[in-house]
Every structure is written in structure tokens, then in C-alpha cells.
């Protein structure tokens, strides 16, 4: 029977994937909930031999009978197919399942503990049991954590528990990997065969290759990274989804108070894939500023307050932005130096606009604490436009008035003159000119990078530090 139907074009035809199972690792899946049951069914459809494990006798019985333990479109169909083809078994015996397979997926629950942290009890228990099984096994085994967990869990909890219970060595006798799950409940089967992304962080090259090969049929561009980065990606994803939902709902509440249809607004908003739904504005860097963002955030917060509409997310944007600038000040002050040189002072590169530049706020904070400031910005020209902006900043931000009064005197002719005349160089713009200036600085001159000058961070350079990386 061919399971492909026109509503699920992404589901691979079983005839095409019913290839010889030799060469494919056999896989045990610990935890037959929303994540584990889908992995079992979908990987069996790709020709893998799967053994599902759960402490729940009911879930084990259902999976063994080819029936779905949860409500999930097409899951029952795929489980039935897997059982009929002899590719799916299920058991309560975790040790036996691990012993009879090459790879173990760990997908037990990670609920919230009373103190708000992530409760790793089930992960720890299952890891210990996997270790007890591996104590009896000679061949290399791979343990893949699929739960959503705090960064560090795979190496500091799973690998440690498995090693302690088995007496085996990570990277030699067994490998660990973190492979987050991004499938949406309800369409998890369709998402499995057309994943938004596949991310694998592994302890060693052999483990990485084994885990990546499992997904080869559904994703040709697997993203390989460190284990903690893979763990963090999963948390960032869900926090981002939550941010979008909360943001959309705040906009909805504000629109309602203004008698505007929020869907009419957001239907237009989401069509902008150049700036809104895009990587733009999402990479960590320095605080937002300029003549629009801070002003508009204040205006929207004020609009809401005037109508008694509570928008904590939008109303806190100014606070979080200010904390980011304060963190830059703290980093620079921690160096205990007097002369601070700034490469870039306008609110972003390629503009001469100084209005609400977060760098000016940072300069004012440092000056108030006694620092001597120097500036080089190739776009600053002391013409009438700039004089008008200086007056604007003096008026809008009284704390920056002293910096504005002296900014012309602080400016030096070029980047080399700046790096020669300071004890720390603070980079506000990621431009080629500033990258070259930082590279040519005298040895040991500290750099505080607010703009992320480099894709790949410098190795072994104790004099370099970034604000959010
Ligand atoms: N539900 C989702 O859509 C989703 C998506 C991505 C990630 N996650 C993460 O994946 C993990 C699993 O989520 P879920 O929704 O599938 O959980 P779930 O509660 O539906 O399933 C977990 C299963 O693990 C079983 N279990 C617990 N301890 C066990 C043990 N020692 N041995 C065998 N079985 C054991 C439980 O009986 C249960 O059936 C969690 O960390 C969750 O945060 C879930």
C-alpha cells in the first residue's frame, strides 16, 4: 500500500523508501509521547527498525498493536504500517531495547519544577537505565537527547549518568548528541517529512555522522553545531514563538482600544518579509536607537497607557534597551581605564544621523564617571545639519548635553589616530574600515565590540570582548 495522498505530498512513498535495512542503524525510542511516538512511526516508514519504550503499559500495548497513543493526524496509519512490516516493536523493558539497538532516542518529559527550572528527573532516570544496558554491551552506542532542556544537559547530565552507570567512556564506547524536535503537534507527521530545519550537535564525528545519516532522506541541509548551541536553539525557538504570540496579542488589544481591526493591520504587517519576518534586527548587537524606533516605542506605550491598555512587552522595550547600554558601560568600566575611544558614534553605519544614538548615551554614562572620550566616525561632518541634530539631542536627552557640547573637540581625524590615543577602543559599527583599524591596533589594546565585527570570533585574544557573544 502506498501511503502518499494528495494532501500530504511531502510524505515519501513507502515503495521508494522500503530499501534494504542493512546499513541503517536500529533505533530505540525512550518515551512514547508526542515526540517519541511520531519518531517511531515516521522513521519506521523510512525503513528503520524501531523499538519504542515507555513506563506506561497502555502506551506500549497501543504501539505494539499499531495504534496511536495520542491524537495526531496519520500517526495511527504509520504505526499500523510499521507493525505490519515488522519494523516497530514496543516494550517496557528499556535495558533490553537499548541492548538490541544501535541508537537510542531519549524523548521523556521535562516538566517545570516547583522553582520554575526544568525538571530533569525523567531524563536522569532514563540515562542511568541506558548506562546500565551499555554496561552489558560491547559495540559503540549513540544516545540522542530529543527533550527540550537547558544548555549543558546532554553533556553534564545524560553523558555523565550514562558513563557512571556503564563504566564506559564518552567518545570511545558511546556518543551523545542533541537533536531538538521542531514538529508542530497536529501536523507533526507532515512536518517530520518536511522539517523547518534539522539541527544536530554531537560529542564526536562518528556520532554526528550516524545521527545526521538518520535524517538524510528528509533533510539535505542538516545544521551541525556544538551540543550547547543545539540545546539553546530549541529554547530560543520557543521563546521567539511566545514573543510573537504575545506581541501580536498586545497589538490586538491596542488596536481594539483604537477601534482598528488588528487583523487588517497584521495581514499587511506579515507581508513584509524583508524587514519584519526576516533575519533583519534579530542578530545580537548594540541597542536600538535613531530618530524612529525609540520615539515610536514611547509613543505606542503612551497611546496604550492613555487608554488603560496594559502592554507589558511593548512597555518594557525601552527598559531592556537601556539595560543593554548599561551593560556596555559596565564592561568598559570593568577595564579600569581612563581614555575611551569610540569607532562610530552615529546610531548606525552609513548615516550621519546622531539622534538617539545609543552610543551617545553610553558616552554620557562613561563621561559622568570621569572617562576621557575620543571619537572617530567617517560620517560626522560638522555642518548645519549636524549642528541642528546636536541641538535636538541636547534638548531631547539632557544627560547627553555635555557630550554634545564637546563632541567636535572629541573627534580625531582617522581610526589610527583614535586607536593610538585611547586605553580601550569601543566599536559601534561593523565596517571594513573599523575591522582594519582593530586589526592594526597596538598589541594588547582592549577592544569592546558592540557591533559584532567578526562572523567567527577571534581565537585566544584576551584583549577582545563582545557585548552579547
Ligand atoms: N510535545 C511537543 O510537541 C514537543 C515538541 C518539541 C520538544 N518536546 C520535548 O520533548 C520531550 C517529550 O515531550 P512529549 O510531549 O513527547 O512528552 P510526553 O509527556 O507526551 O511523553 C513522555 C513519555 O515519556 C515516558 N517516560 C517517562 N519516563 C520514562 C522512562 N524512564 N522510561 C520510559 N518512558 C518514560 C512517559 O510515560 C511519557 O509517555 C519534552 O522534553 C518536551 O519538552 C515536545
Pocket of ligand 1 (CB under 6 A): 30-36, 53-56, 59, 94, 107-110, 122, 125-126, 146-148, 181, 185
Nearest alpha carbon, ligand 1 atom 15: 34
Catalytic residue among 292, 397, 411, 422, which? 292
Is the separation of the CB atoms in 62 and 87 below 8 Å?
A: no
Q: How far is the CA of 99 from the centre of ligand 1 (A)?
A: 21
For residue 204, count other CB atoms closer than 10 A to its CB.
17
* CATH number given to 6-225: 3.40.50.720
Give residue 13's pLDDT band: very low, low, confident or very high (50, 70, 90): low
Q: Which helix (H) or strand (E) holds 201?
A: strand 199-202
Q: How far is the CA of 56 from the centre of ligand 1 (A)?
A: 12
Is 225 considered catalytic here? no
DSSP codes, 163-198: HHHH---BTTTEEEEE----PPTTSHHHHHHS-S--
CA separation for the pair 367, 373 (Å, rounded):
7
> Mutation test of ligand 1: which of 28, 32, 34, 182 has the most ligand atoms closer than 8 Å to its C-beta?
34
Is the separation of the CB atoms in 95 and 129 below 8 Å?
A: yes
pLDDT reported for residue 21: 56
CATH 3.40.50.720 assigned to domain 319-466? The reply is yes
Q: SS3 sequence, 296-364?
A: HHHHHHHHHHHCCCCCHHHHCHHHHHHHHHHHHHHHHHCCCCCEEEEECCCCCCCCCCCCCCHHHHHHH
Give residue 22's pLDDT band: very low, low, confident or very high (50, 70, 90): low
Question: What average pLDDT score do residues 199-212 get?
Answer: 98
Q: How far is the CA of 146 from the centre of ligand 1 (A)?
A: 9
pLDDT reported for residue 10: 53
Strand partners, 175: 142
Percent of the chain surpassing pLDDT 70 = 95
Instruction: Tell me the pTM.
Output: 0.90
Cα dist from 348 to 5, 318, 428, whole Å: 51, 18, 8
CA separation for the pair 447, 367 (Å, rounded):
18
Nearest alpha carbon, ligand 1 atom 18: 33
Closest C-alpha among 21, 22, 23, 62 to residue 44: 21
pLDDT reported for residue 3: 41
Question: What average pLDDT score do residues 216-244 get?
Answer: 97
Highest mean pLDDT among 19-33, 63-77, 395-409: 63-77
323-372 confidence digits (pLDDT tens):
999 999 999 999 999 999 999 999 999 999 999 999 999 999 999 999 99
Phi, psi torsion values for 223, nearest 5 degrees = -95, 115
12 pLDDT more than 90? no
> Mutation test of ligand 1: which of 28, 30, 31, 131 has the most ligand atoms closer than 8 Å to its C-beta?
31
Is the separation of the CB atoms in 380 and 352 below 8 Å?
A: yes
Amino acid at each position: 500500500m502506498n501511503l502518499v495522498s494528495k494532501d500530504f505530498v511531502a510524505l515519501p512513498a513507502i515503495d521508494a523508501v522500503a530499501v534494504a535495512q542493512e546499513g541503517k542503524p536500529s533505533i530505540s525510542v525512550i518515551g512514547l509521547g508526542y515526540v517519541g511516538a511520531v519518531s517511531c512511526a515516521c522513521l519506521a516508514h523510512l525503513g528503520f527498525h524501531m523499538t519504542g519504550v515507555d513506563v506506561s503499559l497502555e502506551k506500549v500495548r497501543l504501539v505494539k498493536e499499531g495504534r496511536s497513543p495520542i491524537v495526531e493526524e496519520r500517526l495511527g496509519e504509520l504505526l499500523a504500517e510499521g507493525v505490519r512490516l515488522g519494523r516497530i516493536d514496543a516494550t517496557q523493558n528499556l535495558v533490553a531495547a537499548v541492548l538490541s539497538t544501535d541508537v537510542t532516542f531519549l524523548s521523556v518529559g521535562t516538566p517545570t519544577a516547583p522553582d520554575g527550572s526544568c525538571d530533569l528527573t525523567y531524563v536522569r532516570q532514563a540515562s542511568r537505565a541506558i548506562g546500565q544496558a551499555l554496561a552489558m554491551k560491547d559495540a559503540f552506542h549513540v544516545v540522542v537527547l530529543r527533550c527540550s532542556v537547558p544548555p549543558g544537559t546532554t553533556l553534564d547530565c545524560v553523558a555523565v549518568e550514562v558513563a557512571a552507570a556503564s563504566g564506559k567512556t564518552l567518545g570511545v564506547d558511546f556518543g551523545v548528541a542533541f537533536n531538538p524536535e521542531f514538529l508542530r503537534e497536529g501536523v507533526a507527521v507532515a512536518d517530520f517529512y518536511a522539517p523547518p530545519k534539522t539541527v544536530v550537535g554531537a560529542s564526536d564525528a562518528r556520532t554526528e555522522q550516524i545521527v545526521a545519516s538518520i535524517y538524510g532522506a528528509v533533510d539535505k541541509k542538516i545544521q551541525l553545531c556544538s551540543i550547547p548551541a543545539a540545546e539553546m536553539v530549541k529554547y530560543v525557538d520557543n521563546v521567539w514563538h511566545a514573543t510573537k504570540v504575545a506581541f501580536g496579542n498586545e497589538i490586538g488589544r491596542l488596536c481594539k482600544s483604537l477601534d482598528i481591526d488588528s487583523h487588517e493591520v497584521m495581514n499587511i504587517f506579515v507581508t513584509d518579509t524583508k524587514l519584519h519576518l526576516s533575519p533583519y534586527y534579530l542578530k545580537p548587537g548594540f541597542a536600538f536607537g535613531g530618530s524612529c524606533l525609540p520615539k515610536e516605542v514611547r509613543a505606542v506605550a503612551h497611546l496604550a497607557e492613555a487608554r488603560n491598555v496594559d502592554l507589558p512587552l511593548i512597555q518594557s522595550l525601552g527598559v531592556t534597551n537601556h539595560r543593554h547600554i548599561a551593560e556596555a558601560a559596565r564592561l568598559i568600566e570593568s577595564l579600569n581605564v581612563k581614555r575611551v575611544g569610540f569607532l562610530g558614534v552615529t546610531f548606525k553605519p552609513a548615516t550621519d544621523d546622531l539622534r538617539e544614538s545609543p552610543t551617545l548615551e553610553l558616552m554620557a554614562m562613561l563621561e559622568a564617571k570621569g572617562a576621557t572620550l575620543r571619537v572617530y566616525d567617517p560620517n560626522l561632518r560638522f555642518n548645519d545639519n549636524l549642528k541642528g541634530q546636536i541641538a535636538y539631542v541636547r534638548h531631547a536627552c539632557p544627560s547627553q548635553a555635555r557630550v554634545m557640547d564637546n563632541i567636535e573637540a572629541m573627534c580625531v581625524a582617522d581610526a589610527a589616530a583614535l586607536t593610538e590615543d585611547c586605553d580601550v577602543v569601543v566599536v559601534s559599527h561593523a565596517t571594513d574600515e573599523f575591522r582594519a583599524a582593530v586589526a592594526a591596533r597596538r598589541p594588547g589594546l582592549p577592544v569592546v565590540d558592540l557591533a559584532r565585527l567578526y562572523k567567527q570570533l577571534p581565537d585566544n585574544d584576551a584583549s577582545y570582548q563582545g557585548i552579547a557573544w
